[in-house]
Every structure is written in C-alpha cells, then in structure tokens.
Structure 1
Amino acid sequence: MTDSQLINLTQAQRDRLAFVELRLRFMGEIRRQDLVTRFGIQAAAATRDIAQYKELAPGNMEYDPKAKVYVCASWFRPLFDFPIKRVLRWLSQGYGDAEPSHLRGVIASEDTGLPSRIDLALLSILTRAIHRGAAVKISYRALSSGLTTREIVPFALADSGLRWHLRAFDRRSGEFRDFVLGRFDDASILPGEVADHETSAQDIQWNRITELELVPHPANVQHPDTIEAEYGMEGGVLKVRTRAAMAGYLLRRWNVDCTDDHNLKGGEHHLWLRNRQALYGVTNLVLAPGYDATGKEW
C-alpha cells in the first residue's frame, strides 16, 4: 500500500481493510458477513471492501467457491504492520482491530513488560490451526529438553499475566500442556482429522472451573480495609472463578499466599487463599506461592 493510496482512503475504510487482513491472516478466511457483523455495514459495502483489499494486495487471498469464503493465499504478504500486543489483544478480546496506529495515548502511560520474541507469521499458523481444529507440527524450545520436534493439537491462547501460552494436546507426552509462544521456532499445519481424545472437550484442567476465595493477608496487611477497597471485596473476600489450568498463573501473578497458616512473609503477599481445598486436583500448583515442592500433602 503506497502513501498516496492511504491518503485517498478514509479512516473507516482503513479500519475495515485492517480487519479483513486480521481475519485473513490469523483465522485463514474472511466472509462478507464478517464485515457486515463487525461494522454494521450493508452487504454491498462489504463486497466493495473485499474488492478493494484484493486490489491493494492482489496475491493475498483466493476465493473458495465450494465453501463460499475467501481464504489466505500461500504467498500472503501483509499490508499492515500490527504490533504483536495489538494482535494478541484482538485474538483474545475481539476488539481494537482497527488500522495500526503509532500515536501515543491521550495521557502518559508505561508498562513493565519484558520483550518477547513472538513471530506473527508463525502465530498466524497456530491461530489458523485453532480455527480449523487441526494438528500442527512444531519445533519448540523446552527448558527440560531443548529444541525438539513434536505434534500438537492447539485449541486456545492463554495469558498468564507475564507471557502468552498456547493450550494444546501434546501427542508426544499424551497430555494437555501449555506452550510458551516465544519458544516456537517453526510450525506447519498437518492434514487429516484429530482424534476425539485430543480435543479441548477432553482437557479436564481446562474445563474445570474453580472458585478461589482471596482475603487480605492476616499477617502482612496492617489495614485490611485498604486491600478490601483496592480489590472491591465484598464482606472482606474476593471470589474469583478461573479455569483450573490457569489457577497457578493467577496465584503467582498476584503473589497469593497459599500456605495453610498464611506464613509467607513479605510486603508482596497482600492476599491469602482462604479456601485451599478449591485447589484439590489442580495440576500446576508448582507456580503457587507456598506450594510444597517436596510433594508433601497440604
């Protein structure tokens, strides 16, 4: 897309074209109805948007007459330069899919995130596999085994608060696991159907919802009403429902003391888990502050 072509487009047009590219690149397909639903425009306007995108990027999409959908071409080359944070936000929250903007926010703000090596082209292969329900052959760097090649069946993205993961069935171990997005080196979608036991419906930890009861730390917090106000607690407790697969990440992110007698010291432990029994059967508790790594029962 040249500067002159950009000048001739309205902001609304650029936003719709950016949406076309996001759907095409990360979902692998775009339908006219997707534009109609997202922007509340008429079908004729959606047709013009798709035609305009084809004109600006003639090699990026192909029409599948059988499925009646435009699909991502193998020689796809992006028009828009989306930051990885914007893409992950769109994939996980479904908004903010307008044209990339490098303008600063309306007020000053900063974050403390560390840089993460996530390749958008590789991410698009993984998200297309999720959308299609397909298996993927990957090259992945694990802490325990280094660079390995394996086959996985991905079905969801997961934000731990510190970094992004891919939830998938790992055919090598026969288990559902989390894969850090920044540790993928390569990926390609595999042909064929996946087995029933490889689908998200069989992931017990993902489908189990547990309710955590968080309260001001009895030993470390001198004024519990401050914590109650900060987190909007009701009756002195904050009840948080989360997937069992995400419980460890949540407890680690918020430094929740998970010991039976709230004995973790330090100003970072403002919260205590009042109902440890809710964690029975949760498998990633090695992340939870106060977890006994020796395996001794709580």
Structure 2
Amino acid sequence: MNLPRDIQRERLYYIEFLALFSGQVSRKDLTSRFGISEPAATKDLSLYGELAPSMLRYDLRRKCYVFDGGQPYFEHNVEQALHALAGDGAVDYDPSRTKRIPGWVNSSIKRQVPLELAAALTRAIDQRQWVVAEYSSLSTGARSRRLSPLALVNDGLRWHIRCFEHERKEFRDFALTRFERVKADGESAVTLSEDREWNNEISLRLTPHPKAAHPETICTDYDMRGGAKTVQLRACLVGYFLRHWHVDYTADASGNPRAQQLFLSNRDEVRQAGVPEWALDV
C-alpha cells in the first residue's frame, strides 16, 4: 500500500480524531473542514479503512462511520486533543511542524491520562450516553459511579468532566485524572440545559489587592481599566478561577498581597448569585 501524502495524511488523521473522540465521522465532516469533493472524501475514508481496518464500521441508521473499538493508526496527545475538542486549539496531526524558538515550559507532575479512557468519556459526551465509571475521590476513595458526562472543563491546571451523578442526583465536576475505568452503558436523557450552575453566568470584579505596594503594576499585568477588571464565568467554574489566579476572596482582604495580587471586590454579590458552596470557602 502506498503511504498517503502529507496533505491527505492530515485528512486521515482528522478522520481518526473524530472517530476516536466523538464516536463518528462522515463525508460531510471532511468536505466541510477541508473543502474537498464528496468523491475525494469517500476515497479518504476508504483509505483510512485500509490503514486501520478495525477502527470504523459503517452505521446504516446514522449514515456515517462509527468507532468500532480498534487500534488507532496515528499517535494522539490527550492534552492537545482535549484542548481541540474544547475549542481551544486546532487539530494538527504533526506538532513538530510548528516553528520553534528558544524557550521553556515547566513539565507537569499530574498523571498522563490513557488515551482510551479520555476518548471513552468524550465519546459519551458527544453521543449523549451514560457510563459506569471507576472513580477515586479524596472523601470516599475508589468506587463505581453511574455518570452522564456532559462537558469538558479546564480549570487552568487540569481537566474535569462535568457530569450528572445519578446516585446523588446532582451535577458535579470529576477530575479526569481520577478516572480508572469507563464503560458506556446506554443513552442518557440528561442535558446541560438542566444544569443550573453551568447555565448561570457570574460577574467577578477583580481589583489590585488593597494592600499592594504598587497597584498600578497589577493593573498593567491584567489590562485593567479604571483600576478593575470584570470577568464573566459560569457559576460552576468560579472556585477554580479564584484558586488558579490566586485571588484573595476573603471578606476583609486578609490574604498576602505578594502571593495574592488580585482581590475579589464583589464577594457578597458573587455568593448571592449562586456559586457552589465550596467556591468561596477560605
């Protein structure tokens, strides 16, 4: 078999990416993304089927190719894939093509989530399925949970899956690194439209810390206008944001201004707006 050229290889990678992380791929996906004809898209799908014969099967009811549980042909970086799925980056089959300049990025100490585990969860989100998952928490340790995965959430440090937990009958965030096993187990009727904390938008008013020696420097760092910056967030993400940006959200600005340069000046308003209880715990 002749190996595909780079331009076609990119389309083949995209076929696999959609199948693996969303559970299905069609000719329309290729024609819309790459501007190719339907016959060319059909040819790409056929070629991919030769390269990875166990990955796809054609679903007559859906009229598209669906993931069939096989071994991927390409290598996938889970972190990059999640950013692409969340709309925070392009799908690129060859990151080495990116131009390099001298620099350094600190390495992460968090667990590298297995590809098959992350993909099982993103497929469940896309296909609206509920799953049985083995999940470890700090309060209960490892146990099986029945979840309906609904969305990806990145708090700036790690990924979470926004889910409805059927046993507790509530919407919660589950750290991706704490999942051990995931098995799709049927269609889920739960939707994000029912998640109050997801749909409730909160305004945070951030100012330089009241005890900062040079507040004008902080204003420059964060592009503040009039000594403040307003940030719109979903209610369920407020706690993550405050901790990631080291915001002092105490009522009396008792935090260390060198460690917490930002201050939440509308704390009472944020609490009354309906954030999770833990979000403003000190």
TM-score, structure 1 as length reference: 0.88
Q: CA deviation at 1:202?
A: 1.3
| Distance in 2 separating the partners of 1:213 and 1:192 | 40
**What does residue range 202-221 of structure 1 map to in structure 2 within 5 Å?**
202-219=194-211, 221=212
Partner of 2:259: 268
Contact 1:81 / 1:100 at 8 angstroms: preserved in 2? no
The corresponding residue for 1:91 is 85
Per the alignment, residue 248 of structure 2 pairs with 257
Q: How many residues are aligned here?
A: 280
Q: Does the aligned pair in 2 maintain the 1:210–1:279 contact within 8 Å?
A: no
Structural mapping, 1:59-208, within 5 Å = 59-74=54-69, 76-93=70-87, 95-102=89-96, 105-107=99-101, 108-194=103-189, 198-208=190-200
| Structure 2 residue corresponding to 1:231, chosen from 202, 222, 233 | 222
SS in 2 for 1:161: coil
Percent identity (aligned) = 35
| 2:43 matched residue in structure 1 | 48
Deviation sequence 1:112-136 (CA, Å, 0-9, x none): 5323231110111111111111111
* Deviation of 1:104 (Å): 7.1
Shift of the 102–114 alpha-carbon distance from structure 1 to 2, 3 Å rule, reads farther
Gaps of 5+ in 1: 293-298
On the 8 A contact 2:200/2:234 being kept in 1, the answer is: yes
The 8 Å contact of residues 202 and 273 in structure 2, kept in 1 or not, is answered as no
Cα displacement (A) at 1:77: 0.5
How far residue 106 of structure 1 moved from its aligned partner, in angstroms, is: 1.3
Q: 1:36 touches 1:46 (CA, 8 Å); kept in 2?
A: yes
The CA deviation at 1:201 is: 1.3
SS at match of 1:124: helix
Aligned CA distance change for structure 1 residues 269 and 94 (closer, same or farther; 3 Å): closer
Q: CA RMSD in A?
A: 1.9
Task: Identify unmatched segments of 5+ residues in structure 2.
Answer: none
- The one-letter code sitting in structure 2 at the alignment partner of 1:216 is P
